[in-house]
Amino acid sequence: MDYGKFKYETAQKARESRKNQVQTVIKEQKLRPKIDDHDYATKRGHVMRFLEAGSKVKVTIMFRGREQSRPELGYRLLQRLAADVADLGFVETSAKQDGRNMTMVLAPHKGAKTRVKAQQDAAPRPRSGPAQEPAPAQADTAAPQ
């Protein structure tokens, strides 16, 4: 067997295996225990966008001062967030407190990226140029009144 051919074939196999690999991306979203409803909705939207893209999300709640004596507030907030995004992902690592922070990791459901891609392919694509409307039929302007 030709050694050059052997090296070429192993390089091709390695290239093919790298092509099928998926990089695991972990995004982080930081919250505070006393977050307002609108701010929570914005952060939840970011988490949903990350999960739809197929990334894992590490949600961190930062406690300061007297907030450290009420970790149940942070735990409830994390449970609420997990329930809100349950259709897009699941809790991979449950909420645990380490020092001043409480963390939880959410992971997308299997096939999340392929579902999003399928939805985009199924949706009709808008035209990129100016809309070409058909010209309305001209009414006879010399009609008697």
Domain ranges within the chain, ordered by starting residue = 23-114
CB 75 within 8 A of CB 101: no
Nearest Cα residue to 53 out of 78, 25, 91, 20: 25
User: In the prediction, which pLDDT does 2 show?
Assistant: 87
Over residues 57-97, the pLDDT tens digits come to 999 999 999 999 999 999 999 999 999 999 999 999 999 99
Name the strands in the sheet holding 101-108, side by side, starting at the edge strand that comes first in the sequence. Answer: 26-31, 56-62, 101-108, 89-98
What residues of the chain score a pLDDT lower than 50?
A: none
User: In the prediction, which pLDDT does 44 show?
Assistant: 95
Q: Does domain 23-114 have CATH number 3.90.1300.10?
A: no
Gap between the Cα atoms of 82 and 61, Å rounded: 13
Angle, to 10 degrees, between the axis of helix 71-84 and the axis of helix 37-52? 50
Any bridge partners for residue 90, and if so which?
A: 107
